[in-house]
A and B are shown apart, each in its own frame.
Chain A
């Protein structure tokens, strides 16, 4: 028998989409029966009580979780988020219900052996409830008691060779798209870049020393499957600077309807036969494509690498061979000063191991942000407050036209003193010799 009646939640059992309520209820019962005689280290009714407190929220239309409190593992300032229930007497199983973030492998591939171990650990020392994955990319363990935090961490590090992820004013767990592992468009090894930077900056990831959170995300191409341009303080987006590779025979095959466009992504729509003029050439944002003598011609000097033509004809077109990444900075969700997307800082960087150029850029930016950033000010907000030119100054980079969509609208130009002949210190007496009062 379930411990709590949950008539409202039970209405989320029906419908075709996987029901988290059904999963939780099934597991609550499994935990009660405990067929494998697990010596649960937190209350066995934790899942029952979670359902109970969630049902109460569905009645009250308000959350019943309290503010974190300072909990964590020794020596780290992140990776654990404290959580307590505000009705602990009704729901003692979830009185403490802390979250642990577990740094996911890059690209989110797993062996079943590894995940089985993780499942057993979390069932034994926690609620057995998790997210695959949290918004930043970590595996998220939802719900354990304070005294189990060190125990979980000890087992993770000793048995699984596995560390926690970031939280708070830290470097957050870097994440990436699946990159070269299974995508023909990846312009660099996103997984390796994310892995190496995760390991290079372990101190920054575990010990809060920043004004606020800082995120790296690695997208292999401008399709941005991991949303770095919207979500990362430092967005690394694959690109190329030579010519799109064309297989003219495959272009003909698309034109002749032998290959479905866009990797067959529109299979269920009634879109009629493929029309290269309408679907590719006319939609090119710079109009840099044309058919000439039955062949597709691309004026690569005017291409902005938006990926549309490549997406539509993946068997005919491929990114060029001189590949690297564009580096953009400053994205964040609305809090505090409104949403920002990342702005272009470096149009092209070769992304070769050990990624020294990227590390140099990151460290220059961090030095500035840690010096000038206010409490809870994201990099994007600092750039807005201090100006893009300050970012260029601290990173030692020249201004180039690619930095702007269009030049400034107002003529309020801030000249540096040393840019003006003679500087700003003048003699009023000399001036008055030329101009009477």
Chain B
């Protein structure tokens, strides 16, 4: 493995340096038919799941085949997509914001050949390489984050959880039988670099133990004031401690921090600022499910997703409880919602209390908001509610401990 220089000279980093050039102009990458009809499209139709047809003022028609991709991919997989684009699409392709690939062709003949080709391509283990689907009133691909493959703060894996949920719901990636589109998103910790907070269903990795403190090293590895300031609930404060040194065995005084554990809501912001405060834990970490969000302004305003399942344990490699729980929510939605109703619109129409009944989900204090101002607005300030079967609502039957003891 001999080092091969690109031409960069480390002695003189500014020599021939090109910077601040930004991205390439999209105009260089548009397929000819797209370029020709730019801004002149007049209508579209979904010919079948995964196949779109767009009509332009000029009379031109472009057919798009949408396929799911794993987001995390190798150059070999990507090259295969490029081979397909070379064979059928004049050397162009595009990607959607939800990790799908779109192949565009200008005739029905090419469309049929392209579809046939895509359907035949499988990985050695049998999974589809380029499953066609993800359109209309069905399930599209799950947008997600890195998880255990590449991130330092995840509470679960991303690619693995997405794979099992997409396997579970695969049929609906290739069908359009839902009342409206269903958008599932996945973020592997509360930092939500996947911003899943407005999704029909969100899968969210969540820690449940406050950070540990690496007292002997924290002052060397971290700016303690930054770790203190990073805590949104003011649970971290500076603290001098006397400890027995791991290195010398002697008692030493160190500058460290103290965490008010009862205040911690496990966001991991301290750890993001300070690697000496790890919080990942094989027993503590798991998954939260949120539901009922959307970003579209259609019929109703965009909505935040609501927490509907407080905790699902990490069960690699196939997370069966996660897949089963999402299946239950999707089935109840499909059964109960009216045409055009997104999941959140349906839940609001029937009432969130009814949602828990029809989805057969547990309820506990974890699902009642207690974080700052918005909390009050989520409690019920009306006598309008529904009596539902699976929860006690009569005073003497409600008595009990709210704490769910760990097993």
Contacts and interface: CB of A to CB of B under 8 A. Distances in A.
Interface stretch (B16-24, B383-391, B398-406): B16-24
Interface residues of B, number: 144
A314 interface: yes
Contacts of B38: 180-181
B194 interface: yes
B45 A260 contact: yes
Given A135-B145, A262-B136, A182 B317 contact: no
B65 to A, nearest CB: 13
Given A202-B20, A227-B198, 5 more contacts: A61-B282, A68-B152, A132-B69, A333-B187, A337-B232
Contacts of B302: 224, 229-230, 341
A24 B125 CA distance: 12
A110 B93 contact: yes
Nearest to A318: B42
A16 B131 contact: yes
B116 interface: no
A8 B125 contact: no
Nearest to A174: B23
11 contacts: A17-B173, A24-B74, A64-B148, A129-B73, A129-B74, A132-B73, A225-B97, A333-B187, A333-B191, A335-B192, A336-B267
Contacts of A152: 6
Interface stretch (B84-92, B238-246, B251-259, B355-363): B84-92
A429 B131 CA distance: 83
A39 B300 contact: no
Contact of A175 (B97, B127, B269, B318): B97
A265 B139 CA distance: 11
Interface string B131-158: 1000111100001011111111110010
Contacts of A23: 70, 72-74, 76-77, 123
Interface stretch (B107-115, B164-172, B325-333, B346-354): B164-172
B340 A308 contact: yes
Interface string A263-302: 1111111010000000100010100000000000000000
Q: Is the interface of B mostly helix, strand, loop or mixed?
A: loop
B348 to A, nearest CB: 14
A20 B45 contact: no
Interface of A: 8-9, 11-24, 26-27, 30, 39-41, 43-44, 47, 50, 54, 57-58, 60-68, 74-76, 83, 97, 99, 103-116, 119-120, 122-123, 125, 128-133, 135-137, 142-143, 147, 150-155, 157-158, 160-163, 173, 175, 177-178, 180-184, 186, 189, 191, 195, 198-199, 202-203, 205-206, 222-231, 237, 260, 262-269, 271, 279, 283, 285, 305-308, 311-312, 314-315, 318, 333-339, 341, 375-376
Contacts of B94: 107-110, 178
Nearest to A75: B19
Given A8-B317, A283-B340, A22 B127 contact: yes
Given A13-B127, A17-B131, A203 B23 contact: no
Given A22-B125, A163-B21, A47 B299 contact: no
Given A107-B26, A119-B75, A63 B374 contact: no
Nearest to B80: A23
Given A11-B317, A54-B149, A113-B91, A18 B127 contact: yes
Interface of B: 1-8, 10, 13-14, 16-26, 28-31, 34, 38-39, 41-49, 54, 62, 64, 68-79, 82, 85-86, 91-97, 99, 101, 104, 123-131, 135-138, 143, 145-154, 157, 159-160, 163-164, 166-167, 170, 173, 175-179, 181, 187, 190-198, 226, 229-230, 232, 267, 269, 275, 280-282, 285, 293, 295-300, 302, 304, 314, 316-318, 339-340, 371-372, 374
A105 B230 contact: no
A130 B75 contact: yes
The 9 A-B residue pairs with the shortest CB-CB distance in the complex, in nearest-first order = A265-B136, A15-B167, A13-B125, A333-B192, A61-B282, A57-B148, A17-B166, A230-B198, A27-B74
B267 A128 contact: no
A123 B75 contact: yes
A129 B74 CA distance: 4
A76 B176 CA distance: 46
A14 B318 CA distance: 11
Contact of A116 (B64, B77, B82, B123): B82
A63 B45 contact: no
Contacts of A30: 76
Nearest to A84: B152
A15 B164 contact: yes
Given A103-B23, A130-B78, A158-B18, A184 B42 contact: yes
